Amino acid sequence: MPTHAFDALNDPAALERVPTPAYVLHEGQLRRNGELLAGLAARTGCRVLLAQKAFSNFNLYPVLAPFLAGTEASGLYEARLGHEEMPGGEVHVFCAAYRAQEFDELLGYADHIVFNSPGQLARFGPAARAAGRSVGLRVNPECSTQQGHAIYDPCAPGSRLGTTRAQWDAQMTPELTGLLDGLHFHTLCEQDSDALEVTLKAVEQKFGDVLPRMRWLNLGGGHHITRPGYDLARLERCIRYASERWGVTVYLEPGEACALNAGFLCTRVLDVLKNGETDIAILDMSAACYAPDVLEMPYRPPLLGAGEPGELAHTYRLGGPTCLAGDVIGDYSFAAPLRVGDLLVFGDMAIYTTCKNNTFNGMPLPGIWVMRENGCIERLADFGYEDFKRRLGR
Ligand SMILES: Cc1ncc(COP(=O)(O)O)c(C=O)c1O
53 lines ligand 1 (CB under 6 A): yes
CA distance 248 to 245: 8
Q: Please, what's the b/e burial string for 299-318 (b: 16 or more CB within 10 A of its CB; e: otherwise)? A: eebbbbebeeeeeeeebbbb
Q: Residue 375 Cα, ligand 1 centroid: separation in angstroms?
A: 31
Last residue of a domain, one of 202, 234, 259: 259
Domain assignment present for 245: yes
Say if residue 96 is in the same domain as residue 174.
Answer: yes
180 lines ligand 1 (CB under 6 A): no
Q: Residue 149 Cα, ligand 1 centroid: separation in angstroms?
A: 15
192 lines ligand 1 (CB under 6 A): no
136 lines ligand 1 (CB under 6 A): no
Domain assignment present for 37: no
**Mean pLDDT, range 72-99, rounded to an integer:** 98
Say if residue 244 is in the same domain as residue 321.
Answer: no
**Mean pLDDT, range 209-237, rounded to an integer:** 98
The predicted-structure confidence for 224-275, as pLDDT tens digits, reads as follows 999 999 999 999 999 999 999 999 999 999 999 999 999 999 999 999 999 9
Say if residue 201 is in the same domain as residue 268.
Answer: no
Q: Which of 337, 258, 348 is nearest to 303 (CA)?
A: 348
> DSSP code of 150?
G
Q: Tell me what pLDDT residue 147 has.
A: 81
Residue 89 CA to chain centroid, in angstroms?
18
Say if residue 340 is in the same domain as residue 238.
Answer: no
Mean pLDDT, the chain, whole residue set: 97
255 lines ligand 1 (CB under 6 A): yes
183 lines ligand 1 (CB under 6 A): no
Nearest residue CA, atom 7 of ligand 1?
221
Say if residue 80 is in the same domain as residue 186.
Answer: yes
Looking at the CA of residue 352, tell me the nearest atom of ligand 1.
Answer: 9
Say if residue 295 is in the same domain as residue 351.
Answer: yes
Say if residue 65 is in the same domain as residue 17.
Answer: no
3-class secondary structure for 117-129?
CHHHHHHHHHHHH
The best mutation among 52, 53, 92 to test binding of ligand 1, ranked by most ligand atoms within 8 Å of the C-beta, falls on: 53
Q: Tell me what pLDDT residue 384 has.
A: 98
Domain assignment present for 32: no
pLDDT over 70 at 163, yes or no: yes
pLDDT band per the 50, 70, 90 thresholds, residue 1: very low
Q: Which of 370, 364, 369 is nearest to 383 (CA)?
A: 364
Residue 291 CA to chain centroid, in angstroms?
13
CA distance 263 to 27: 9
Last residue of a domain, one of 225, 259, 293: 259
Please state, as a whole number, how many other Cβ atoms lie within 10 Å of the Cβ of residue 97.
Answer: 13
Lowest-pLDDT choice from 130-139, 142-151, 177-186, 286-295: 142-151
Say if residue 268 is in the same domain as residue 379.
Answer: yes
Q: How many domains does the chain have?
A: 2
The best mutation among 36, 253, 261, 353 to test binding of ligand 1, ranked by most ligand atoms within 8 Å of the C-beta, falls on: 253
Nearest residue CA, atom 13 of ligand 1?
221
Last residue of a domain, one of 217, 233, 259: 259
Say if residue 224 is in the same domain as residue 290.
Answer: no
CA distance 245 to 269: 56
Domain assignment present for 1: no
The predicted-structure confidence for 338-385, as pLDDT tens digits, reads as follows 999 999 999 999 999 999 999 999 999 999 999 999 999 999 999 999
CATH of the domain at 105: 3.20.20.10
55: domain range? 45-259
Nearest residue CA, atom 9 of ligand 1?
255
Q: Is the pTM here over 0.95, yes or no?
A: yes
221 lines ligand 1 (CB under 6 A): yes
Q: Residue 51 Cα, ligand 1 centroid: separation in angstroms?
A: 6
Say if residue 351 is in the same domain as residue 252.
Answer: no
Which segments of 253-327 are extended strands (E)?
A: 263-275, 278-283, 314-319
Beta carbons of 270 and 284 less than 8 angstroms apart:
yes
CATH of the domain at 283: 2.40.37.10
CA distance 176 to 163: 13
Say if residue 229 is in the same domain as residue 161.
Answer: yes
Say if residue 96 is in the same domain as residue 170.
Answer: yes
Domain assignment present for 2: no
